Amino acid sequence: MGKWTRRAVISAGVVAGGGLIVGVAIRPGNRAAKLSKYVAGDGETLLHTWVKLDSDNVVTAIIPHAEMGQGVGTALAQMLADELDADWDLVKFEEAPALGEFANYPMAQAMLLAGADIPDFVLPTVEGALIRTAHVLDLQITGGSLSVRTTGAYGMRIAGAAVKEMLKIAAAEAWQVPVNQVIAENSQLIHKASGRVEPYCAFAESASQMTPPVSPTLKSVDEFKIMGRHVERHDLPSKVDGTAIFALDVRLPDMLYATVMRAPTFGGGIDSVDEVRTRAINGVVDVVQLPSAEVSSMLGKFTYAESVAVVAKGYWAAKQGMDALNIQWRSTENDGVSSDAIFKQFDRDISAGVDRESDIAQGDLVASMENAAQVIHADYRVPFLAHTCMEPLNATAMVNDGHCEVWVGCQSPLSFRQAIANALGFDIENVTVHNCFMGGGFGRKSRPDYAIQAAQLAVSLGRPVQLLWTREEDVRQDFYRPAIQSRFRAALDDSGDLIAWENTYVDKHEPDEAALIPYSVDVQDIGHVRSPTHIPFGAWRSVAHSHHGFFTESFIDEVAVAAGQDPFDYRVARLQHLPRQLAVLTKAAKEAQWHIPLAPGRGRGISLQSSFGSIVAEVVEVTVKDGNLSVDRVVAVIDAGYAVSPDGMKAQIESGIIYGLSAALFGEISIKDGAVVESNFHDYQSVRMSDAPAIETHIINSGADWGGAGEPGTPPIASALTNAIFNATGNRIRQLPIKNVDLQAARESTATMG
Amino acid sequence: MTVITVNGTEQKLQVDPSTPLLWVLREQLALTGTKFGCGMAQCGACTVHVDGTAMRSCVTPLSAVSGQKITTIEGLAPNNNELHPLQQAWIEEQVPQCGYCQSGQLMSAAALLATNPSPSDADINIAMAGNICRCGMYSRIRRAIKSVAGVQQFDPAVTELAREINNG
Ligand code: FES
Ligand code: FES
């Protein structure tokens, strides 16, 4: 590997020599001039894309990911600071501006190389020639639990180590001493023999003239000082005193406020709008019809339907104006579609097995089923789900002299920039995206529709406009976790051993391996049929793992019960080939005191899912009394390789569990007349304080490759919960949400069966 | 014209009195710490204190609080150099994820502790029932509340009074 050239880095052909893709984060040569005008303040020297060192010796990590709650900035800054041997108190971070220069190259590389567990919404880029032809302009994405394991592992650490080496060389030259006698410690360079000590910043400028080293030496785990340590998140002080600026908090001079509505039936459009009553409302400025927008980016190709906006001097007037509009929507071919019809269609398509494709097919399924001592089968279902981020969708836009500025909280600022430029017919240089704190993302804020609408309004009004969706619009115009049906059959021999596993489900989504099971079964046939609906699909925290985690880990429980064996022991016997999974599952059982019996009416359930590079097991304890369910306790164990920020990882797991619990208990988007029935938190419920279990999270640092943390907590929770309910009541729940199940009746029916 | 006192400062407002307090705070007074989440008293993101009581400002018309004392998240701390004990506990327990719900959570918790300095789990469940956290930080919120239970609280009414005296 010779010296890197600028070209070598920008094209994706960076050699993965030694298994590292470091080059993508390390800019060769000095690019400071080009980038510094965007991020460097007065007195600061930009060493390269990822690190900034100012004259006060403060190191700033420039984070190419958006903060949506996961504390990503802090974890990535820890990785950088540790390799740099920086004084943690002198380390800050800021989010990279939405410019191609900051595109997330390591993420692109990890996707190219690994491929398997990349979220659906980034897939088109991987398939396309974009990366290969060196136009990675679209990849500043947050999602797929990828930040730490790509940007952190391949970018930040290398960057920190490289900068340290450059500073040492610069100091050695200045002091005229051999470089191996220069020590870097706590943001200072030290030469012991001569007693010299100078802060890093003294050499910032000379270091910025150098070409970064090709392969800087990384620390081994036992040398970590800042990684693995509990540090307080940098962003929290502003989140307890009301000063954190979310997109909705942006205030521009002369700004107007707006709200929008699209046809409730997906694919519908506007027939006519009667504005008379609206325009009579005090404060209403305008009623604007926004054209549909075509977006083709790394997210794929989408058409966002046209909408009606009411613009006013304040949000309240805009909202009242919207309520007063009389809109006739065009009829569509989907006007008659209901949830019932959708599930009938799924059932029909699974039975017909049309164009069934296998994820895995091994062994002789027919023979195994014929020779089985026992065959069990079951159908599982989950409904559509909305994201309901705490902060409803909003964006603020301003157009001046042909330049559009947009303030938004989003998971993919570069693709938003592109999409806005396309929709307005602007050159991309004439669009600036300011990414703000996100009040939740969960996958929804990777779609730019709301930012496009704000930009369209700013153009049409000629004044800054803050667009805020009503919660009702947020629930009814989402990109939904799809409804899915999954059909299982399992063959057991007379000792209860699992000899064959068959599974057919509708609609394949990312990650590819989500429906696969870790258990050793010789004969397996897992596959899917296509059964499209008109309901828009979107990535929802953990994507396809969110439903397959419920399906497969429930059915393996059914198999264990049919075999007359303990569900934990049954899993353990079939995990001997996977030591990490085995360790995680075993620890979860141990911490939850799995084998100590519970009082009548109480129950425990267990579940195991590997997703986004991490392995998570969860044990849930419930009480069911007079048909009332209480989720008492959740014990979670995660092996993500190494926890950079242990408390941050625990918080993410807690968050993923509650998010999945809301869905398991209450989450249901129902379709009637082609449109969504639910509208706000009263009919699309979330877990609240009194529903929330005590959660204990344990971390295993196995030293395996880095895994994600934002999503892997979600997939196991639904099945751990329903398995616990089964354990308590004998009632097997195969359709979510649980709010629709009469647990009282279930207990009686179990009694009859027993 | 409607007159209210917000964080110790009297405000004379020329706003349609049927406008919910939330929008007056955010738009007229640029106090954006109070958040919008649902607009129908379901999520608690907009919680403020009205004469010391936690209220959902998204469904409270300006006319209903005329002449009253409002405290928002910006006014929860006793002064510029000190945090409210709950704000401190929120940092110690690393409560916020995205943070969007936390102004409302803190205002509900502060109102609880002002009247019930050592709440039981059941008291916490009731007082916090109206506040959703989509990031699911409930265990941490509970821990943080309990960590300051029994600790001397800043009574919002007293804080208000002190501020008024300061402002002359
Ligand atoms: S915005 Fe007021 S309760 Fe949700
Ligand atoms: S911290 Fe995100 S909603 Fe509560």
Distance from CA of A487 to the nearest CA of B (A): 31
Mean pLDDT of A550-573: 98
Strands (E), A645-749: 671-672, 675-676, 694-700
Residue A80 is predicted with a pLDDT of 85
For residue B46, which atom of ligand 1 is closest to its CA?
2
Residue A1 is predicted with a pLDDT of 25
Residue A674: C-alpha distances to residues A185, A272, A334 (Å): 63, 20, 5
Residue A16 is predicted with a pLDDT of 24
Residue A125 is predicted with a pLDDT of 30
Place of tokens 């699909």: A537
Tell me the pLDDT band of A288, cut-offs 50, 70 and 90: very high
Residue pair A672/A561 in contact (Cβ under 8 Å)? The answer is: no
| Nearest-Cα residue of chain B relative to residue A468 | B36
Inter-chain CB proximity A316 and B19 less than 8 Å: yes
In chain A, positions 628-667, which contact chain B (CB-CB < 8 Å)?
647-648, 651-652, 654-659, 661-662
| % of chain A surpassing 70 pLDDT | 81
Residue A146 is predicted with a pLDDT of 53
HSE (CB half, 13 Å, CA atoms) of A563? 25
| Better pLDDT: A554 or A753 | A554
Q: How confident is the model over B45-81, as pLDDT tens digits?
A: 999 999 999 999 999 999 999 999 999 999 999 988 8
Residue pair A74/A63 in contact (Cβ under 8 Å)? The answer is: no
Residue A139 is predicted with a pLDDT of 39
Inter-chain CB proximity B136 and A658 less than 8 Å: yes
Is ligand 2 within 6 A of the CB of residue B102?
yes
Inter-chain CB proximity A692 and B139 less than 8 Å: yes
Number of H helices, E strands in chain A: 21, 29
| % of chain A surpassing 90 pLDDT | 64
Residue A258: C-alpha distances to residues A238, A295, A462, A622, B41 (Å): 27, 22, 14, 45, 21
- Answer whether residue B20 shows pLDDT above 60: yes
Rounded distance, CA B117 to CA B147, Å?
11
Interface test with B, best of A240, A313, A634 (most B CBs within 10 A): A240
Rounded distance, CA B162 to CA A510, Å?
58
Residue pair A575/A585 in contact (Cβ under 8 Å)? The answer is: yes
Inter-chain CB proximity A242 and B72 less than 8 Å: yes
Q: How confident is the model over A587-640, as pLDDT tens digits?
A: 999 999 999 999 999 999 999 999 988 999 999 999 999 999 999 999 999 999
Q: Ligand 2 center to residue B152 CA distance, Å? A: 27
Contacts of A634 in chain B (CB under 8 A): none
Nearest CA, atom 4, ligand 2: B133
Tell me the pLDDT band of A509, cut-offs 50, 70 and 90: confident
Residue A66 is predicted with a pLDDT of 61
Residue B166 is predicted with a pLDDT of 54
Q: Which of A13-17, A93-97, A112-116, A339-343 has the lowest mean pLDDT?
A: A13-17
Q: Which amino acid is at A473?
A: E
Q: Which of A209-213, A463-467, A733-737, B108-112 has the lowest mean pLDDT?
A: A209-213
Q: Which of A43-57, A216-230, A489-503, A572-586 has the lowest mean pLDDT?
A: A43-57
- Answer whether residue A129 shows pLDDT above 60: no
Closest CA to B111 of B164, B162, B53: B53
Three-state SS annotation for A440-507: CCCCHHHCCHHHHHHHHHHHHHCCCEEEECCHHHHHHCCCEECCEEEEEEEEECCCCCEEEEEEEEEC
- The CATH code for residues A6-240 is 3.30.365.10
Q: Ligand 2 center to residue A655 CA distance, Å? A: 9
Could you give the residue range(s) of every CATH 3.30.365.10 domain in chain A? 6-240, 247-333+393-468, 339-384+480-753
Residue A255 is predicted with a pLDDT of 97
Return phi, psi of residue A679, to 5°.
-145, -25
Q: Ligand 2 center to residue B99 CA distance, Å? A: 5
Rounded-to-5 percentages of helix, strand, coil across chain B: 40, 15, 45
Provide the phi-psi class of A641: left if phi over 0, else alpha when psi is between -120 and 50, else beta.
left
Q: Which CATH class is domain A247-333+393-468?
A: alpha beta
In chain A, positions 18-77, which contact chain B (CB-CB < 8 Å)?
67-71
Residue A203 is predicted with a pLDDT of 84
Instruction: Report the Cα A72 to chain-centroid distance in Å.
Output: 12
Residue A12 is predicted with a pLDDT of 21
Quote the mean pLDDT of chain A: 84
Distance from CA of A731 to the nearest CA of B (A): 27
- Answer whether residue A754 shows pLDDT above 60: no
List of residues 6+ apart from A217 with CB closer than 8 A: A161, A165
**Cβ-nearest to B87 among A241, A440, A654:** A241
Sheet holding A196-199, edge to edge: A182-185, A188-191, A196-199
Distance from CA of B165 to the nearest CA of A (A): 23
**Cβ-nearest to B42 among A651, A656, A681:** A681
- Answer whether residue A505 shows pLDDT above 70: yes
Q: Which domains does chain B have, with CATH numbers?
A: 2-149 (3.10.20.30)
Return phi, psi of residue B163, to 5°.
-65, -40
Residue pair A414/A139 in contact (Cβ under 8 Å)? The answer is: yes
Residue B25: C-alpha distances to residues A310, A445, B74, B130 (Å): 21, 27, 11, 20
Q: How confident is the model over B90-149, as pLDDT tens digits?
A: 999 999 999 999 999 999 999 999 999 999 999 999 999 999 999 999 999 999 999 998
Radius of gyration of chain B (CA): 15
Tell me the pLDDT band of A529, cut-offs 50, 70 and 90: very high
Distance from CA of A612 to the nearest CA of B (A): 19
Mean pLDDT of A302-318: 95
Residue A443 is predicted with a pLDDT of 86
Radius of gyration of chain A (CA): 27
Q: How confident is the model over A262-276, as pLDDT tens digits?
A: 999 998 999 999 999
Residue A207 is predicted with a pLDDT of 76
Residue A56 is predicted with a pLDDT of 81
Strands (E), A582-735: 602-611, 614-625, 628-639, 671-672, 675-676, 694-700
A532: burial class by Cβ within 10 Å (0-12, 13-18, 19+)? exposed
Residue A481: C-alpha distances to residues A343, A544, A550 (Å): 15, 8, 14
- Answer whether residue A151 shows pLDDT above 70: no
Q: Fold for A339-384+480-753, please state it.
A: Aldehyde Oxidoreductase; domain 4 (3.30.365)
| Better pLDDT: A552 or A267 | A552
Q: How confident is the model over B127-137, as pLDDT tens digits?
A: 999 999 999 99
Inter-chain CB proximity B35 and A248 less than 8 Å: yes
Rounded distance, CA B123 to CA A192, Å?
61
Return phi, psi of residue A601, to 5°.
85, -10
Q: Ligand 2 center to residue A379 CA distance, Å? A: 35
Nearest ligand, CA A71? 2
In chain A, positions 369-388, which contact chain B (CB-CB < 8 Å)?
388
For residue B99, which atom of ligand 2 is closest to its CA?
1
Residue pair A20/A110 in contact (Cβ under 8 Å)? The answer is: no
Rounded distance, CA A737 to CA B6, Å?
43
**Best mutation site among B40, B50, B105 for ligand 1, i.e. most ligand atoms within 8 A of its Cβ?**
B40
List of residues 6+ apart from B133 with CB closer than 8 A: A390, A658, B97, B101, B102, B105, B141
In the numeric block, which tokens belong to residue A750? 């179990």
| Nearest-Cα residue of chain B relative to residue A440 | B98
Residue A486 is predicted with a pLDDT of 98
HSE (CB half, 13 Å, CA atoms) of A10? 11
- Alpha helix positions (H), A287-361: 315-324, 339-352
Residue pair A463/A255 in contact (Cβ under 8 Å)? The answer is: yes
Residue B131: C-alpha distances to residues A441, B23, B54, B119, B147 (Å): 19, 19, 11, 17, 19
Helix (H) or strand (E) holding B55: strand B53-56
Q: How confident is the model over A374-433, as pLDDT tens digits?
A: 999 999 999 999 999 999 999 999 999 999 999 999 887 778 888 999 999 999 889 998
Residue pair A457/A397 in contact (Cβ under 8 Å)? The answer is: yes
In the numeric block, which tokens belong to residue A428? 């991309």
CB neighbourhood size of A373 (10 A) = 13
Residue A41 is predicted with a pLDDT of 41
Is ligand 2 within 6 A of the CB of residue B97?
yes
Residue A68 is predicted with a pLDDT of 55
Contacts of B42 in chain A (CB under 8 A): 680-682
Rounded distance, CA A464 to CA A415, Å?
22
Rounded distance, CA A41 to CA A259, Å?
36
Residue pair B34/B46 in contact (Cβ under 8 Å)? The answer is: yes
Mean pLDDT of A718-740: 97
A361 strand-pairing partners: A525
In chain A, positions 532-571, which contact chain B (CB-CB < 8 Å)?
none
DSSP character at residue A684: S
**Best mutation site among A390, A541, A687 for ligand 2, i.e. most ligand atoms within 8 A of its Cβ?**
A390
- Answer whether residue A434 shows pLDDT above 90: no
Residue pair B157/B115 in contact (Cβ under 8 Å)? The answer is: no
Give me the sign of the Cα torsion angle A140, A154, A709, A507: positive
- Answer whether residue A678 shows pLDDT above 70: yes
Is ligand 1 within 6 A of the CB of residue B45?
yes
Closest CA to A434 of A470, A479, A464: A464
In the numeric block, which tokens belong to residue A447? 């779609």
pTM: 0.87
- Answer whether residue A497 shows pLDDT above 80: yes
A363: burial class by Cβ within 10 Å (0-12, 13-18, 19+)? middle
